[in-house]
A and B are shown apart, each in its own frame.
Chain A
Amino acid sequence: MIITHKIIKQALLIRRIEETFLELFSKGKLNGTVHTCVGQEFSAVAFAGQLKKSDFIFSNHRCHGHYISFTGDSHGLIAELLGKRTGTSGGVGSSQHLCNDNFYSNGIQGGITPVAAGYALANKLNKNNNIGIVFIGDGTLGEGVLYETMNIISKWGIPLLIVCENNYYAQSTPQSVNLAGDIQTRAKAFGIKTAHNNTSEVEELMQSAQDSIAYVRNECKPLFHLVDTYRLNAHSKGDDDRDNDEIAHHTQRDFLFKFSQEDNGTYQIYLKNINDKINLILDEVEKDSELPLNEYYKNFNAGLKYEWKVIKNENKRFVELLNNFFLDKLAADERTLFIGEDVLSPYGGAFKVAKNLSAKFPEKVFSTPISEAGLIGVSNGLALAGFKPYAEVMFGDFMTLAMDQIINHASKFHHMYNGKVNCPIVIRTPMGGGRGYGPTHSQTLDKFLVGIDHIKTIALNTIVNPATIYEVIHEEINPVIVIENKIDYGKKVGAFLVTNYSIMQSTENYPTIKASPIAAEPTCTIVTYGGCADWVLHNINRIFVETDEIPEVLVLTKIHPIEYQEIVKSVQKTGKLISVEEGSKENGIGSEIISSVLEKVKIVVKALRVGSLSVPIPAVKSLENLVLPSIESLISEIIKLQAK
């Protein structure tokens, strides 16, 4: 392929913008830091510059060159780094978090790869012949999720091109210190075709990039393209300890440097034009304002009015209601997908929620390898691309493996890209003990899954039909985590009688269940949710008999963000607030409820948190029963509270 002047000008534009950023940084006009790609420009031009506009890119912290080559939006990039509202992400994302049409970048090494895989899978499902590139560095080769992704994209035939820009350093650490084995062999081990070029041989690079793009598009298969290169500046600003001779050596090999030497006249003309263009942009951007808070942060949690209604008795098992919901949704809504480990028929998942789904909808149910980060990441990508993925993590204990995808990706996308995208992923997982599964299969880790920005956390129970909750969740455009309880799967769902009590549910989208004494005034407020709801409600009369307290019990469905109206109303009457959760009480959901209620009431309140002991859940039944909260421990704690 011939290197055209257009290609050279594009590379030079990238370099000058990067150098301008470094100058601006020196003058204190940029926030944070900036990771320039000086010396690596032709990788961007070769790959990002040769995609179709309907293709996509996921890039990393060193994304400016990719951004300019793909979008041509120099103005947006400069405004972004200068913190202006006219910037690509409104000034919110700055150097590492850019979003423009199908261009995305994020600063988490490796985390973008399964998201890109999901996005590419969406293209495949939509049969639109579009492909995508995910840019990684050689430093990314240390991240495990990259390998989960390569396994998945190879196995599923996902049209994703991984471009590894190998500049021989992970931040400041030379590759020789960190990297074992061969880079291309890693990809080949997964059966992925590879290619290899370097940025000093631009002609070959341009042609090879074109070939790789065509391969991925035509064969609908992934490819790993290794690009040897060298950054002529520091990793970020001011942290370069590399040998000067080494840098000088690579500078001599740099194409733009050689061009400036061999054809300085043309080079200077290009340079002037580009500098003039950049200066014009800087003058314009200077006048732009910054994003005000009320445009960046919107409180999505407006309190709504609600009424109370009788709870229907479904008389069906919890798992059956869930399964029916998914059967209906997969049939009715073409966006719906079901993803999880071991979900194919006839097995249908560890708790059979996915029973018969893949048999009836083989193209919409995906059984993944044991790769929690990978499956959530892929689901994130599918959600960004417009699908409604329901991702199942087999046991709640395994959510820890997916936390990066939840916190640094799903939670962040909407705001860090200044509201340009939504990620309607639903992550489902069963929590809870009581079956002797032992320390790593019995936990209730709810406390780690609440308070995550922009993510609703729902806890289902056996009183209200879970399908009605999922109908609401299905309409959410933001991420939702749904915590199910593994013991609840086998139980029948619906209302039951409690002597002298009425049990109603509110008409809110995520209803509160309220058990109130019909005639008497309650003397204490118990707030609970999830797997504890069943045994607390069934034992209301026992609580009265053994403690003298007449409880009003509130069962929450949404545990983040919590609606406090009903809790506050109840506590104003009773003056006693007791929270019951299956997780350990320290720093748990109950802590949040009690402290929030105390902020809102004007009376002195006696408060109590009841939860598991702060120790791993043992497998031996007798010990497990003592560690987990129970009606006995709840009664005992209430009596202690009375004594205070």
Chain B
Amino acid sequence: MKILQEIFVPQESVNDQTLTVVGLNFATGDFVNKDDVLIELETSKAIITLEASSGGYIVYHCKIDDEVLLNALIIQIADSKPEKDISVEKIPELPQTTSAGLIPETKSQSHKEYDTQFSQKAIAILKKNNLPKTLFKHYDFVNEEVILKYLNLDYRKVNTIESPVKPVVSPAKMQPQLRSQEFLSKVSLEKLSSAKRREIEYLSAVQSGGLVSTLYIDIDTTGILDSVSGQFTYFKNSILPLVVYETSRLLFKYPLLNAFYDNGQIGKYLNINIGLAVDIDDGLKVIKLPNTVAQNILEIEETIFQLSNKYLDKKLGVSDLTDITFTITDLSVTGIHFFTPLVNKDNSAILGISKINEKLNQCILSISFDHRVTSGKYVSSFLSELKSRIESFAISKKSTAKTAAVFECYKCLKNIADDYNDIGFIKVQTKNGEEKLICDTCLSTF
């Protein structure tokens, strides 16, 4: 095959380093005549065309939407049909984004997302000490300092005046321990997924402050489930909706638990957005339960159910996972008696619900909190009041079904017989124009 013409990407504008192929008028192997328009290229200023200066069989070394470098060979015209294509080096394409605009985790052709990088100094020391690179395969960056540490040698100070004060390093950011060959031969190491890395980063954010404390309190569940299970559709043996309901309201009174620590300041959120930690099949996620401050317990139950399904269907969006001001984690179905939850990033507290002990009629609530924002006394007060409010749902043995049906608070569904404040219910007009009854507890929240 004799090449009659080679066409290179011309420079039309001094500002362009690449052009985009926007039109191919033939296919490789077609016969073209002299002066036929072969290709359309888009510059930053205009679309240009390139023509054949001789007749022959065309070979394209590019395709539509390719970014081609200046002076790159893009077309050949030969005297006979080509037997195979000759590929031309192209600029690596940028990875395509998902509809949410997120770059997928797949590795591109020329850029690996995760790969151990060695500096020149590091390579020089490896060679000098006859060390294999594989020793450090679990590192991301290997520089001189890393290798010298491995060799247990003193490393020179970077700053001869005064070393900068190093803040407490997040565990996620710490380099792994140096391991011997013998040790490495006995284990299988796997790199963390990016989701897990982010989880570590989020949880480390507060815990690394070193001032997280946990308090526990037990809830007497006697009569509570009997009281509400008839109302609930999905959570018949759980107090989760009650906890969410009461916590949402109580946080107005305890704003430091609806806050966060930030570099010497305390930020109090203007809104209350409860997040529910969920970890079923798709990893730990904290899902925002919107508008719980305005919902009754049945509406809250429905919200939890719907969002759980959304989690399972992998349809959660960014707005479902952000702007969370307080987190609740419910391990009651797992049989855990009590546990110490971890405070989430940009929160100052997290409430954990343990299993309901049916023999003792007891459920332990645990609250971990950031001591930089608040104090044990403050949190104790919150926990005690939360306990009282949840326990107020317990049905009284003296109440009648008739009473329960006629006189109940339209917000918390508490029965008038269960009004432990002995104040009674107040008639209110809702914004829908209906007359309803509200208990003192719910009224004082508003």
Contact between A520 and B18 (Cβ–Cβ < 8 Å)? no
A337 in the interface, Cβ–Cβ < 8 Å? no
B100 (CB) vs chain A CBs: closest residue: A310
Contact between A605 and B143 (Cβ–Cβ < 8 Å)? no
Interface-centre pick from B95, B141, B145 (highest chain A CB count, 10 A): B141
Q: How far is the CA of A550 from the CA of B117 in the complex (A)?
A: 10
Contact between B173 and A548 (Cβ–Cβ < 8 Å)? no
Q: How far is the CA of A642 from the CA of B143 in the complex (A)?
A: 14
Question: Which residues 105-164 of B sit at the A interface, judged by CB distance below 8 A?
Answer: 108, 111-115, 117-122, 139-141, 143-145, 158-159, 161-164
A351 (CB) vs chain B CBs: closest residue: B15
Contact between A500 and B44 (Cβ–Cβ < 8 Å)? no
For B16, the chain A residues whose CB sits under 8 A away are 490
A436 in the interface, Cβ–Cβ < 8 Å? yes
With A307-B322, A313-B95, A548-B144 as contacts: A499 and B117 at CB distance below 8 Å: yes
With A352-B44, A495-B103 as contacts: A604 and B173 at CB distance below 8 Å: no
From A165-173, A289-297, A357-365, A538-546, give the one contacting chain B.
A538-546
With A489-B15, A499-B111, A519-B173 as contacts: A494 and B163 at CB distance below 8 Å: no
From A49-57, A177-185, A572-580, give the one contacting chain B.
A572-580
Q: Which residue of B43, B119, B164 is within 8 Å of A605 (Cβ)?
A: B164
A547 in the interface, Cβ–Cβ < 8 Å? yes
Shortest distance from the beta carbon of A429 to any chain B beta carbon, whole Å: 15
Contact between B172 and A519 (Cβ–Cβ < 8 Å)? yes
Contact between A520 and B140 (Cβ–Cβ < 8 Å)? yes
B122 (CB) vs chain A CBs: closest residue: A548
A614 in the interface, Cβ–Cβ < 8 Å? no
Q: How far is the CA of A494 from the CA of B96 in the complex (A)?
A: 11
Q: How far is the CA of A512 from the CA of B165 in the complex (A)?
A: 25
Contact between A498 and B15 (Cβ–Cβ < 8 Å)? no
Contact between B117 and A490 (Cβ–Cβ < 8 Å)? no
Contact between A550 and B143 (Cβ–Cβ < 8 Å)? yes
Q: Which residue of B97, B141, B318 is within 8 Å of A520 (Cβ)?
A: B141
Contact between B44 and A351 (Cβ–Cβ < 8 Å)? yes
Contact between B120 and A520 (Cβ–Cβ < 8 Å)? no
A189 in the interface, Cβ–Cβ < 8 Å? no
Contact between A435 and B111 (Cβ–Cβ < 8 Å)? no
Shortest distance from the beta carbon of A445 to any chain B beta carbon, whole Å: 19
Q: How far is the CA of A393 from the CA of B122 in the complex (A)?
A: 49
Question: Which residues 40-99 of B sit at the A interface, judged by CB distance below 8 A?
Answer: 43-45, 67, 94-97
B13 in the interface, Cβ–Cβ < 8 Å? yes
Q: Which residue of B15, B101, B118, B166 is within 8 Å of A435 (Cβ)?
A: B15
B119 (CB) vs chain A CBs: closest residue: A548
For B164, the chain A residues whose CB sits under 8 A away are 572, 574-575, 603-605
A487 (CB) vs chain B CBs: closest residue: B15
Contact between B115 and A500 (Cβ–Cβ < 8 Å)? yes
For A642, the chain B residues whose CB sits under 8 A away are 158
Q: How far is the CA of A319 from the CA of B267 in the complex (A)?
A: 41
Shortest distance from the beta carbon of B126 to any chain A beta carbon, whole Å: 13
Contact between B94 and A517 (Cβ–Cβ < 8 Å)? no
For A519, the chain B residues whose CB sits under 8 A away are 140, 172-173, 175, 197
With A351-B15, A497-B113 as contacts: A547 and B119 at CB distance below 8 Å: yes
For A574, the chain B residues whose CB sits under 8 A away are 164
Chain B 285-327 per-residue mask, 1 if CB under 8 angstroms from chain A, else 0? 0000000000000000000000000000000001000100000
Contact between A494 and B140 (Cβ–Cβ < 8 Å)? no
How many residue pairs link A and B with beta carbons under 8 A? The number is 129
For A546, the chain B residues whose CB sits under 8 A away are 119-120
A313 (CB) vs chain B CBs: closest residue: B97
B189 in the interface, Cβ–Cβ < 8 Å? no
B167 in the interface, Cβ–Cβ < 8 Å? yes
With A313-B94, A496-B111 as contacts: A603 and B165 at CB distance below 8 Å: yes
Contact between B159 and A606 (Cβ–Cβ < 8 Å)? yes
Chain A binding surface, main DSSP class: loop
B195 in the interface, Cβ–Cβ < 8 Å? no
Q: Which residue of B101, B141, B143, B169 is within 8 Å of A312 (Cβ)?
A: B101
Shortest distance from the beta carbon of B146 to any chain A beta carbon, whole Å: 9
B14 in the interface, Cβ–Cβ < 8 Å? yes
Contact between A520 and B175 (Cβ–Cβ < 8 Å)? yes
Q: How far is the CA of A315 from the CA of B66 in the complex (A)?
A: 12
Shortest distance from the beta carbon of A566 to any chain B beta carbon, whole Å: 11
Shortest distance from the beta carbon of B429 to any chain A beta carbon, whole Å: 39
Q: By the criterion of a CB under 8 Å from any partner CB, how many residues of chain A are at the interface?
A: 52
Shortest distance from the beta carbon of B11 to any chain A beta carbon, whole Å: 11
For B388, the chain A residues whose CB sits under 8 A away are none
Contact between A499 and B173 (Cβ–Cβ < 8 Å)? no
Contact between B144 and A490 (Cβ–Cβ < 8 Å)? no
For B15, the chain A residues whose CB sits under 8 A away are 351, 435, 486-487, 489-490
Shortest distance from the beta carbon of A247 to any chain B beta carbon, whole Å: 62
Q: Which residue of B14, B114, B159 is within 8 Å of A499 (Cβ)?
A: B114
A605 (CB) vs chain B CBs: closest residue: B164
Chain A 297-324 per-residue mask, 1 if CB under 8 angstroms from chain B, else 0? 0000000010101101101010100000
Q: How far is the CA of A309 from the CA of B322 in the complex (A)?
A: 11
Q: How far is the CA of A484 from the CA of B44 in the complex (A)?
A: 15
Shortest distance from the beta carbon of A319 to any chain B beta carbon, whole Å: 5
B375 in the interface, Cβ–Cβ < 8 Å? no
With A490-B17, A545-B119 as contacts: A521 and B111 at CB distance below 8 Å: no
A518 in the interface, Cβ–Cβ < 8 Å? yes
For B96, the chain A residues whose CB sits under 8 A away are 313, 315
Contact between A604 and B162 (Cβ–Cβ < 8 Å)? yes
Chain A 454-490 per-residue mask, 1 if CB under 8 angstroms from chain B, else 0? 0000000000000000000000000000000011011
B102 in the interface, Cβ–Cβ < 8 Å? yes
A495 (CB) vs chain B CBs: closest residue: B103
Contact between B94 and A315 (Cβ–Cβ < 8 Å)? yes
For A499, the chain B residues whose CB sits under 8 A away are 111-115, 117
Shortest distance from the beta carbon of A366 to any chain B beta carbon, whole Å: 21
Contact between A310 and B103 (Cβ–Cβ < 8 Å)? yes
A414 in the interface, Cβ–Cβ < 8 Å? no
For B165, the chain A residues whose CB sits under 8 A away are 572, 602-603
Q: How far is the CA of A428 from the CA of B95 in the complex (A)?
A: 31
With A352-B44, A486-B15 as contacts: A604 and B143 at CB distance below 8 Å: no
Contact between B159 and A604 (Cβ–Cβ < 8 Å)? yes
Contact between B117 and A500 (Cβ–Cβ < 8 Å)? yes
A329 in the interface, Cβ–Cβ < 8 Å? no
A492 in the interface, Cβ–Cβ < 8 Å? yes
For B121, the chain A residues whose CB sits under 8 A away are 548
Contact between A496 and B44 (Cβ–Cβ < 8 Å)? no
Shortest distance from the beta carbon of A3 to any chain B beta carbon, whole Å: 63
B176 (CB) vs chain A CBs: closest residue: A519
Contact between A500 and B119 (Cβ–Cβ < 8 Å)? no
Contact between B117 and A545 (Cβ–Cβ < 8 Å)? yes
For B263, the chain A residues whose CB sits under 8 A away are 569
Q: How far is the CA of A309 from the CA of B103 in the complex (A)?
A: 11
Q: How far is the CA of A519 from the CA of B141 in the complex (A)?
A: 9
For A494, the chain B residues whose CB sits under 8 A away are 94
Contact between A500 and B103 (Cβ–Cβ < 8 Å)? no
Shortest distance from the beta carbon of B58 to any chain A beta carbon, whole Å: 27
Shortest distance from the beta carbon of A523 to any chain B beta carbon, whole Å: 8
For B194, the chain A residues whose CB sits under 8 A away are 518
With A490-B15, A546-B119 as contacts: A500 and B159 at CB distance below 8 Å: no
Return 16 A-B CB contacts under 8 Å, by A number: A352-B44, A352-B45, A435-B15, A495-B103, A499-B113, A517-B141, A518-B197, A519-B172, A520-B139, A541-B117, A544-B143, A548-B122, A548-B143, A569-B263, A572-B164, A572-B165
Binding site for A on B (CB under 8 A): 13-18, 43-45, 67, 94-97, 101-103, 108, 111-115, 117-122, 139-141, 143-145, 158-159, 161-167, 169, 172-175, 194, 197, 263, 267, 318, 322
Closest 3 CB pairs between A and B? A575-B164, A490-B44, A312-B101
New contact pairs (7) apart from A436-B14, A437-B14, A520-B140, CB-CB < 8 Å: A309-B318, A312-B97, A497-B95, A500-B115, A518-B114, A521-B174, A573-B166
Binding site for B on A (CB under 8 A): 305, 307, 309-310, 312-313, 315, 317, 319, 351-352, 435-437, 486-487, 489-492, 494-500, 517-521, 523, 541, 544-550, 569, 572-575, 602-606, 642
